[in-house]
Structure 1
Amino acid sequence: MTKGQGFGFGLGKMKELAEAFKKAQEVQQGAKQLQEELEQMEIEGSSEDGTVKVVLSGNQEPIRVTISPDAMAQGAEALSELVTIAMRDAYDKSTATMRERMEELTSGLNLPGM
């Protein structure tokens, strides 16, 4: 055994490992804070004509739906389509918000697949 080699971890590798753990802890703390922020967010989606509005949290939990009398007057089938469009709009906006916030959180970490 060559003197001073130990288990193959040089001081530089230990520093890299310690830095990786530090970054992981920062991301974990940031993710916890982001989760709390997303729970408090209200993201609104609406039908194209604005007669139906859907509000989701940043975690995509339904909060409320607002349906105007004009939307109700269009009949059940049309109303169903308006609600679906508003839900999809809110969902797309919340998904984009979550993606953007996660990218901000992990930027500069050079994580594979991110």
Structure 2
Amino acid sequence: MSQEKGKGFGFGLGKIKELQEAFKKAQQVQAGAQQLQEELEKMGIEGYSDEAKLVTVIISGNQEPRQVIISPDAMNNDPNALSELVTMAMKDAYNKSTETMREKMEVLTSGLNLPGM
């Protein structure tokens, strides 16, 4: 199994340039991902228990809990109902932060044709 002269390892000049471009794009995505991580950390995403906003949960874009705000009207509920309001607000904030991350990742990786993105 000898290689023909001039064939090297099967990488032509065009393949090397493609590889260099791929590395360049990967470095750009890595830098963008770090910037995105910092941006998400500074965000405050609000989730609500209901339209009346009896309970508000605020989390970062990285889904770190920041604050829970319980309105005086929510305090009129029994403990189980109040717990349910807090849970609904947490789920709303979580869903909003997940959607925000997904949208920002799509922008970051657009044009890269990454599988699964």
TM-score, normalized by the shorter chain, greater than 0.5: yes
Candidates 6, 13, 22, aligned match of 1:4: 6
The sequence identity of aligned pairs, in percent, is 72
Note the C-alpha offset of 1:52.
0.4
Please list every run of at least 4 consecutive aligned residues from structure 1 whose deviation after the TM superposition is greater than 3 angstroms: none
* Structure 1 match to 2:108: 105
Aligned-partner residue type, residue 30 of structure 1: G
- Alignment gaps of 5+ in structure 1: none
* Structure 1 match to 2:49: 47
| TM score, norm. by length of structure 1 | 0.97
Q: What is the DSSP-based 3-state SS (H/G/I as helix, E as strand, rest coil) of the residue aligned with 1:109?
A: coil
Write the deviation string for residues 20-62 of structure 1: whole angstroms up to 9, x where unpaired: 0000000000000000000000000011121100000000000
Q: What is the DSSP-based 3-state SS (H/G/I as helix, E as strand, rest coil) of the residue aligned with 1:50?
A: coil
Q: Are 2:37 and 1:35 equivalent residues in the alignment?
A: yes
Q: What is the DSSP-based 3-state SS (H/G/I as helix, E as strand, rest coil) of the residue aligned with 1:26?
A: helix
* Structure 1 match to 2:61: 58
Partner Cα distance (1:98, 1:113) in 2:
15
Note the C-alpha offset of 1:72.
0.9
Aligned-partner residue type, residue 106 of structure 2: E
Partner Cα distance (1:52, 1:77) in 2:
14
CA RMSD of aligned residues (A): 0.8
Candidates 2, 14, 26, aligned match of 1:24: 26
- Alignment gaps of 5+ in structure 2: none
Note the C-alpha offset of 1:7.
1.5
